[in-house]
């Protein structure tokens, strides 16, 4: 094994990342034969990291004669930022996204990844631990959320957290503490509102308000639980109909709760209105970008619909990842009419975007004379950026329902996407290891452990007296309905 | 839930740890009724830890009116050390252990826990990760093993590591790297030799050489794989017979390996002889204490047998935890004849000490006229310290084969043992949370996560460039056959 792998590296060391990028699809067949992943793994120094002054004892010396890697362990995971303000209407879809999608414009790719990271933050910062008294909350206080997750570089500031009731019968997004002194058993942290800082606003050409919605993790349960019951939006006679479960998450509230005396809808709309009014008073251009993965993608659409109804002249775009269908044809047409721009990033192999409505969906349009008005049929909205798991040489291709739906898989594929007929981008810089944070999608040759994101000792720490204890959350990370009050 | 639990605490707050310690078995029935675990959890501050200056926001204030806890989060996990040199022959079994066992003498209890911690170190420091190139080795270099595990306080220095071949067909103790550049695929780290420093030697009354043997984790596979084939020890016609699998681990070697050109037996005996000779030349009293859990307990007996045969005048004791039977009656009698002192710590509910020989064992002695010489029958050796899972108010009592066998369960029960007819020791200081390091034996009321011992992000770390990488082992922790040379 050791011999064959190292000789593979020697023979193909001329195959640099740049060469890989340029290779058209036909050559890719060849490059799979010569074991690209092992080569890339080596180029990326993924399988083990050494200190520069490391005098390894008892190990074979590192292979010599390799060209300097194009993307190595010392390469930052993002390219230098460029001023994209000249293209703002195109990048944000308010003109027309289509010309920028295939091939994918590098500026747009970068922005899609940025919003995907905002959506990913809602998973990375969520307290899933049922033994935690704060299960279902965000692990970090609002002011340092992005900093804790290494996203401060994106140049945004979180201005409000949004909560939704967890009694709604929807699969697996609700988490409830088993702890007797739980912070709250009725609500879950459901996302946040953030706003671009001055530098980022200048760079993109607009003061950007972001809403990021948390989604679900396990798509398998969708099959059982998303019944696909359409329900009128607004008054009972409305043509516009949406999935009743999604609507339930978005609109439920109860006076007896601490975090949902108002619904997620009311919380988020109040904050959007406040921010829009604040920045417009300063004479600034303001836009709203709503993002989310999975269920979060559905909530993003409901949120966009409401925002467009409430603030008609606000430029609104939705960038969703692996989102399901949300409403009927009338819902989609109304969104279009209100000028809401929707970009759906969809992995071909992912099941969730096929739901609800696997049988009854927009594909029935050509039978409209049979089905009537399609009032009771689900439809997707907006433009689709289609990704293919098989395009990445880093990923396993075998069936993995959870892995295909994983947001990090999406972000990896966006980062490597050049166009629908091109090879995976060889100089993609985003850290490939992230794919395996919560999945096992990476090929074994990369030696990245599957599902590696885990807390040291499940949060237990040894104190100065030698006892293993669960440290209390730091005061600024403890949820509080009072502290959640928005501030600029 | 919150109400009933906090009122339970209020009603029974007079039940201090000291009161619990004194309570005889009859009263325990009562104390189980009044939910002792919740009370203890509160006294021990196990369920959440606050900083002294913690101004909790959004949480109920801590319950007031509780008596100062006897054992709290600020209590060290060990009592101050006492000079036990006056009782050295008794504590180390060279006189007679029996009078100290029931009730258990506190000095002896402390020493048993010390050796149990040495055995536990072989698990805590073992690299189980098949994606690691060092899978099957010790995570830390010899010189800092005890320090890394917080055992430096025991006053010992590791002088040598011992390796055994991993091809031996025994259940689950072998670990092999899937990594192409693995350090070694034929051998596993199997234990270590350590020696007491000057201060500890003065305290206990002797220069103490310790051998700690690593054991197995999962007892379920014992049933399938330990066939119980007795094999003569020494020459083929010897009366003394031992389990052939244990003997295989202890004696296998091969010239084609890096770590087992000599067997575990040869490695450990060479080091013992070297240390004995070194300290005897300085005119010191030297003793040998061999410890191990599970399979490690079996190896400890084989090691003691060989050491007693090789160095007849060396005081030798074995303190084993959950060890299986190892040999026949002649093996046991020969050990006794050679004056090897054996203390077997055994949890009643643990299956492993019942094996091999569940049907054919020393219990057949009274049928000796039927079975003949018992040459082919397994027997236990030495004195037994019997522990009972049900004695601890912290533990679940339901069937848990792995949990009953877990070494941390053993150490917890030793720490709480007063005598066979007494309540669990209320002022036991050893950290209860350790029980759940690799099991789920602790009662849910304690809110200690099950199997909490885990590495942060499975060893992945984010480097300065934002990439998640597996850092190389530090050079001093990389196994090397050259560096393993023993040094004083």
In the beta sheet, which residues pair with residue B442? B395
Q: What's the rounded Cα separation, in Å, for the pair A432 and A417?
A: 14
Residue among A381, A375, A377, A336 nearest A239 (CA): A375
Mean pLDDT of B467-475: 90
Q: Is residue A230 part of a domain?
A: yes
Q: Is B51 on the interface with A (CB under 8 A)?
A: yes
Q: Is residue A128 part of a domain?
A: yes
pLDDT in tens, A350-377: 988 888 766 666 766 655 555 555 667 7
Q: Is residue A78 part of a domain?
A: no
Q: Which of A9, A58, A133, A149 to mutate to test the interface with B (most CBs of B within 10 A)?
A: A58
pLDDT band at A437 (very low <50, low <70, confident <90, very high): very high
Are A478 and B56 in contact (CB < 8 Å)?
yes
pLDDT band at B103 (very low <50, low <70, confident <90, very high): very high
Q: What's the rounded Cα separation, in Å, for the pair A18 and A5?
A: 22
Q: Is residue A207 part of a domain?
A: yes
In contact, A174 and A164? CB cutoff 8 Å: no
Q: Is A73 on the interface with B (CB under 8 A)?
A: yes
Average pLDDT, chain A: 80
- CA distance to A174, A194, A342, B400, per residue, from A320 (Å): 21, 17, 8, 46
Number of Cα atoms under 13 Å in the Cβ half of residue B411: 27
Residue among B340, B353, B439 nearest B395 (CA): B439
State CA A273 to chain mean position distance. 24
**Residue B306, pLDDT above cutoff 80:** yes
A44-48, B77-81, B221-225, B450-454: the lowest-pLDDT one = A44-48
Identify which has the larger pLDDT, B455 or A22. Answer: B455
Q: Which of A72, A178, A467 to mutate to test the interface with B (most CBs of B within 10 A)?
A: A467
State what percent of residues in chain A have pLDDT above 70.
Answer: 74
pLDDT in tens, B397-406: 999 988 999 9
Q: Could you say which of A48, A54, A73 has the minimum Cβ distance to residue B475?
A: A54
What is the tally of structural domains in chain A? Answer: 1
Q: Is B234 helix (H, G, I), strand (E, B) or coil?
A: coil
Q: Is residue B141 part of a domain?
A: yes
Identify which has the larger pLDDT, A461 or A34. Answer: A461
Give the CATH number of the domain where residue B99 resides: 3.40.50.1820
The residue of chain A nearest to residue B431, with distances taken between CA atoms, is A467
Phi, psi of A100 (to 5 degrees): -95, -5
Q: Has A405 been annotated as catalytic?
A: yes
Q: What angle do CA B93, B94, B95 make, to 5 degrees?
A: 90
Identify which has the larger pLDDT, B305 or A445. Answer: B305
Q: Is residue B66 part of a domain?
A: no
Q: Please count the helices (runs of H) and the strands (runs of E) in chain A.
A: 17, 13
Q: Is residue B177 part of a domain?
A: yes
pLDDT of residue A323: 93
pLDDT of residue A487: 55
pLDDT in tens, A147-198: 999 999 999 999 999 999 865 554 444 455 666 567 777 788 999 999 999 9
pLDDT in tens, A211-261: 999 986 544 445 445 556 788 888 877 889 998 888 888 998 888 888 888
**Residue B142, pLDDT above cutoff 70:** yes
pLDDT in tens, B374-388: 667 788 889 999 999
Distance from CA of A463 to the nearest CA of B (A): 8
The residue of chain A nearest to residue B41, with distances taken between CA atoms, is A469
Q: What ipTM score was computed for the predicted complex, to two decimals?
A: 0.79
A355-364, A398-407, B344-353, B362-371: the lowest-pLDDT one = B362-371
In contact, A120 and A293? CB cutoff 8 Å: yes
Q: Is residue B482 part of a domain?
A: no
Terminal C-alpha separation, chain A? 58
In the set A159, A405, A412, A439, the catalytic residue is A405
DSSP state of B456: G
Domain residues for A323? 85-387+455-477
Distance from CA of A436 to the nearest CA of B (A): 11
Q: Is A68 on the interface with B (CB under 8 A)?
A: no
A451-455, B21-25, B76-80: the lowest-pLDDT one = B21-25
């Amino acid at each position: 094994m050791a011999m064959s792998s190292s000789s593979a590296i020697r023979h193909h060391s001329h195959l640099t990342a740049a060469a890989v990028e340029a290779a058209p699809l036909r050559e890719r067949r060849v490059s799979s034969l010569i074991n690209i992943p092992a080569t890339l793994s080596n180029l990326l120094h993924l399988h083990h990291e050494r200190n520069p002054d490391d005098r390894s004892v008892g190990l074979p010396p590192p292979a010599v004669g390799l060209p300097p890697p194009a993307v190595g362990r010392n390469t930052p995971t993002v390219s230098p930022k460029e001023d994209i303000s000249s293209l703002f209407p195109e990048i944000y879809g308010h003109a027309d996204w289509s010309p920028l999608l295939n091939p994918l414009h590098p500026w747009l790719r970068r922005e899609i990844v940025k919003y995907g990271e905002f959506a990913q933050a809602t998973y990375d910062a969520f307290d899933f631990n049922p033994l935690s008294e704060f299960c279902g909350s965000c692990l970090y206080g609002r002011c340092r959320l992005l900093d804790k997750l290494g996203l401060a570089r994106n140049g945004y500031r979180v201005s409000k957290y949004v909560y939704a009731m967890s009694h709604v019968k929807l699969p697996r997004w609700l988490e409830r503490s088993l702890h007797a002194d739980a912070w709250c058993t009725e609500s879950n942290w459901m996302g946040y509102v953030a706003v671009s800082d001055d530098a980022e606003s200048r760079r993109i050409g607009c003061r950007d308000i972001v809403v990021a919605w948390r989604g679900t993790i396990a798509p398998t349960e969708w099959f059982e639980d998303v019944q696909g019951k359409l329900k009128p939006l607004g008054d009972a006679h409305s043509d516009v109909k949406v999935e009743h479960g999604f609507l339930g998450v978005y609109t439920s509230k109860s006076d007896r709760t601490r975090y949902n005396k108002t619904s997620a809808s009311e919380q988020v709309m109040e904050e959007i209105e406040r921010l829009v009014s604040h920045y417009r008073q300063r004479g600034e251009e303001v836009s709203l970008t709503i993002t989310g993965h999975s269920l979060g993608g559905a909530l993003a659409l409901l949120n966009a619909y409401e925002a467009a109804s409430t603030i008609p002249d606000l430029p609104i775009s939705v960038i969703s990842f692996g989102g399901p269908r949300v409403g009927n044809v009338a819902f989609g047409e109304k969104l279009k009419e209100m000028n809401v721009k929707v970009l759906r990033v969809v992995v071909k192999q992912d099941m969730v975007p096929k739901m609800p409505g696997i049988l009854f969906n927009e594909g029935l349009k050509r039978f409209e004379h049979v089905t009537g008005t399609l009032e009771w049929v689900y439809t997707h909205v907006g433009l689709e950026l289609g990704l293919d798991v098989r395009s990445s040489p880093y990923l396993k291709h075998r069936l993995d329902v959870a892995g295909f739906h994983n947001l990090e898989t999406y972000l990896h594929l966006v980062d490597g996407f050049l166009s629908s007929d091109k090879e995976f981008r060889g100089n993609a810089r985003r850290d490939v290891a992230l794919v395996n944070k919560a999945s096992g999608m990476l090929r074994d040759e990369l030696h990245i452990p599957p599902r590696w994101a885990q807390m040291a000792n499940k949060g237990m720490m040894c104190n100065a007296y030698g006892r293993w204890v669960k440290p209390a959350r730091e005061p600024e990370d403890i949820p509080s309905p009072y502290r959640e009050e928005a501030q600029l």
